[in-house]
């Protein structure tokens, strides 16, 4: 098979919020899609959450019942990664932001995936050059970064490393566009890519304002929403994404840059160690227990 082999079967690794929604986007767009995780429990949770979300979309006339029914016919769930990947055309990895784990995953994928298959990572911060060297198909490895919630957000960043082939970039871009996404294609890799580097600059200044006791998180968020037109402020967004995710992303960037400025902010570290991860835990910058 060659790089012109059509993409018919997509495998998404990781049944968390991002992975499950990416899989749903692919299935909604007509692709036979398999969501893979190491255990049944996260797959069952993903299935229940997706069902509730898609049924809500039908109730609000955002999607038709027929489209959703067809999506469920195309979307499968599995724990046998190697068996699934052996028949896939495109893999999107959405596992934890840990370089060692990702390298192990990609080495395993490389051993069983068809020769034509592209192996993409959804990582927003770990550049694919650090992962591609774990495979024998570095030319078919890239970043394909979706945004949360993937069922809603239109943007996808596509990022090559020095060894990514033009054909891989073309096929990845075509896939993203077929999913109804707007593509931001980088010329070369850099930790954080474009959107998150812009976001990090805003977050850094918001945290500086907190350090100086200039304003409260609520008022800083209000300024971002009502003065700048952002859908939510930086502290609200951190709580939505998960402060555990924010913390681990900063650690992953530090591992790549070794720059002190990349380390998590002390208050984010404090919230992380206290288990205050945001909406998912009921408390982060804000208290959601009574919401």
pLDDT computed for residue 94 by the predictor: 97
Identify whether the C-beta of residue 157 lies closer than 8 Å to the C-beta of residue 195: yes
For residue 271, CA distances in Å to 1, 201, 204, 244, 267 come to 50, 20, 16, 9, 6
pLDDT computed for residue 127 by the predictor: 95
pLDDT computed for residue 4 by the predictor: 67
Q: For 84-103, what is the mean pLDDT?
A: 95
pLDDT computed for residue 256 by the predictor: 80
Residues with a known catalytic role: 124, 145, 157, 196
Which among 129, 87, 92 is positioned nearest to 14, based on CA atoms? 92
Q: Which CATH architecture has domain 9-185?
A: 3-Layer(aba) Sandwich (3.40)
Tens of pLDDT, residues 251-282: 888 888 888 888 999 999 999 999 999 999 99
Q: For 1-23, what is the mean pLDDT?
A: 88
Class of the CATH domain delimited by 195-280: mainly alpha
Domain locations in the chain?
Answer: 9-185, 195-280
Q: For 5-29, what is the mean pLDDT?
A: 97
pLDDT higher than 50, residue 3: no
Helix (H, G, I), strand (E, B) or coil at 111: helix
Helix (H, G, I), strand (E, B) or coil at 130: helix
To the nearest whole number, what is the mean pLDDT of the chain?
95
């Amino acid at each position: 098979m060659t790089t012109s082999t059509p993409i018919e079967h997509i495998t998404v690794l990781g049944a968390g919020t991002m992975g499950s929604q990416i899989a749903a986007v692919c299935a909604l767009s007509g692709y036979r899609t398999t969501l893979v995780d190491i255990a049944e429990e996260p797959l069952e949770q993903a299935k229940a959450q997706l069902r509730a979300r898609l049924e809500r979309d039908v109730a609000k006339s955002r999607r038709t019942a027929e489209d959703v029914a067809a999506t469920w016919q195309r979307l499968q769930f599995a724990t046998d990664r190697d068996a699934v990947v052996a028949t896939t055309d495109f893999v999107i990895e959405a596992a934890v932001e840990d370089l060692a784990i990702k390298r192990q995953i990609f080495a395993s994928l490389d051993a069983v995936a068809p020769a034509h298959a592209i192996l993409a990572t959804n990582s927003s911060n770990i550049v694919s050059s650090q992962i591609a060297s774990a495979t024998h198909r570095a030319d078919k490895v890239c970043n394909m970064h979706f945004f949360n919630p993937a069922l809603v957000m239109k943007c996808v960043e596509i990022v090559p490393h020095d060894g990514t082939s033009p054909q891989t970039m073309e096929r990845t871009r075509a896939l993203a566009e077929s999913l109804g996404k707007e593509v931001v294609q980088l010329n070369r890799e850099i930790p954080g890519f474009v959107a998150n580097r812009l976001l990090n600059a805003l977050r850094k200044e918001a945290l500086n304002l907190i350090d100086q006791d200039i304003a409260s998180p609520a008022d800083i968020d209000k300024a971002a929403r009502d003065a700048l037109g952002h859908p939510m402020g930086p502290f609200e967004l951190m709580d939505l994404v998960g402060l555990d995710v924010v913390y681990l992303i900063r650690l992953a960037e530090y591992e790549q840059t070794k720059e002190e400025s990349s380390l998590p902010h002390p208050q984010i570290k404090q919230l992380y160690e206290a288990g205050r991860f945001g909406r998912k835990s009921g408390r982060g910058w804000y208290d959601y227990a009574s919401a």
